[in-house]
Amino acid sequence: DAEGLLRIKEENQKHSRRAQRHQEKKEKIQKHNRKLGELVEKKTYDLKTQHEHLACLRRSHILELTSVIFPIEEVKTSMRDPADVSSESDNAMTSSTVSKLAEARRTTYLSGRWVCDDHNGDTSISITGPWITLPNNGDYSAYYNWVEEKKTTQGPDMEHNNPAHTISAALCYATQLVNTLSLILDVNLPKKLCNRRFCGENLSRHRFTRAVKKLNANILHLCFSQHVNLDLLHPLHTLRNLMYLVSPDTENLGR
């Protein structure tokens, strides 16, 4: 028993010395991990700072681009609705009639169906100048109606103020701006759309509508990437969505 006890004591001493060596190794590993953690934290902070600096540069480039080359503004196209004035002067008009008139003014017949339009078409959005505008409600039927008329009417086009020319020019500038913004923001667009798609040859209704849908999809994708308030967006409002995207009030512009 005494010999067994002595042997067990020797083994315990060996285990104790080994445990001490393991403890020292553990402390060294923990010290190394702390150093790596501090280094990672510092690198993370530096990376975040660089991202913020890059976002500020992107934001400044975008604001300069949209203020000098592609200014986007809201243009009033009509005065106060006369129905509002008549409803105020007519005391006999019931509230139900007023509400029905208000609902009718917020509804637009677009591409064979009725759509809700809160802005009621009372404004247009201009790009690069007040003379190049798009309808606020996304109704671009004037373009393909003009193309269909051109097919039946021979001769040169002498209408310099034709709304179809304005629509094609505005969509062409919007496409160029969207492609430039994707390069500045380093965001890949879901739809491929070249800058010259809306200029040059006259597009048929199908091709024109398809190109407009691609442009609207790209604009919405950029808006989502910059965390634009979703309540402000509408899938048919091409330039209005673009105006919200490049607005100085957009907090996350450049992220």
Q: Is residue 108 included in any domain, yes or no?
A: no
Mean pLDDT, residues 122-139 taken together: 83
pLDDT computed for residue 83 by the predictor: 46
**33-42, 95-104, 245-254, range with the lowest pLDDT:** 95-104
Q: Are 220 and 235 in contact (CB under 8 A)?
A: yes
Rounded Cα distance between 42 and 83, Å, is: 64
Residue 100: which pLDDT band, with cuts at 50, 70 and 90?
low
Inter-axis angle of helices 205-225 and 238-245, to 10 degrees? Answer: 20
Q: Please give the mean pLDDT across all residues of the chain.
A: 82
Q: Is residue 223 included in any domain, yes or no?
A: yes
Rounded Cα distance between 187 and 66, Å, is: 18
Q: Is residue 165 included in any domain, yes or no?
A: yes
pTM: 0.68
* Cα 147 to Cα 164, 201, 203, distances in angstroms: 8, 10, 7
Residue 78 pLDDT > 60, yes or no?
A: no
Q: Is residue 55 included in any domain, yes or no?
A: no
Q: Is residue 214 included in any domain, yes or no?
A: yes
pLDDT computed for residue 181 by the predictor: 94
Q: What is the pLDDT of residues 176-197, one digit of tens each?
A: 999 999 999 999 999 999 888 8
**What is the extent of the structural domain holding 212?**
122-246
Q: Is residue 216 included in any domain, yes or no?
A: yes
Q: Are 240 and 175 in contact (CB under 8 A)?
A: no
pLDDT computed for residue 113 by the predictor: 54
Reduce the secondary structure of the chain to three states and give it as a string: CHHHHHHHHHHHHHHHHHHHHHHHHHHHHHHHHHHHHHHHHHHHHHHHHHHHHHHHHHHHHHHHHHHHCCCEEEEECCCCCHHHHHHHHCCCCCHHHHHHHHHHHCEEEECCEEEECCCCCCEEEEECCCCCEEECCCCCHHHHHHHHHHHHCCCCCCCCCCHHHHHHHHHHHHHHHHHHHHHHHCCCCCCCCCCCCCCCCCCCHHHHHHHHHHHHHHHHHHHHHCCCCHHHCCCCCHHHHHHHHCCCCCCCCCC
Mean pLDDT, residues 29-53 taken together: 94
Q: What is the pLDDT of residues 1-38, one digit of tens each?
A: 999 999 999 999 999 989 999 999 999 999 999 999 99
pLDDT computed for residue 199 by the predictor: 84
Q: Is residue 195 included in any domain, yes or no?
A: yes
Residue 146: which pLDDT band, with cuts at 50, 70 and 90?
confident
Residue 59: which pLDDT band, with cuts at 50, 70 and 90?
very high
Displacement of CA 89 from its chain's centroid (Å): 43
Left, alpha or beta for 118 (phi > 0: left; psi -120 to 50: alpha)? alpha
Q: Of residues 216 and 138, which shows the higher confidence score?
A: 216
Rounded Cα distance between 139 and 237, Å, is: 9
Displacement of CA 209 from its chain's centroid (Å): 20
Mean pLDDT, residues 107-134 taken together: 66
- Written as six digits, the tokens of 8 are 């067990």
Residue 228 pLDDT > 80, yes or no?
A: yes
pLDDT computed for residue 79 by the predictor: 45
Count of domains forming the chain: 1
Q: Is residue 75 included in any domain, yes or no?
A: no
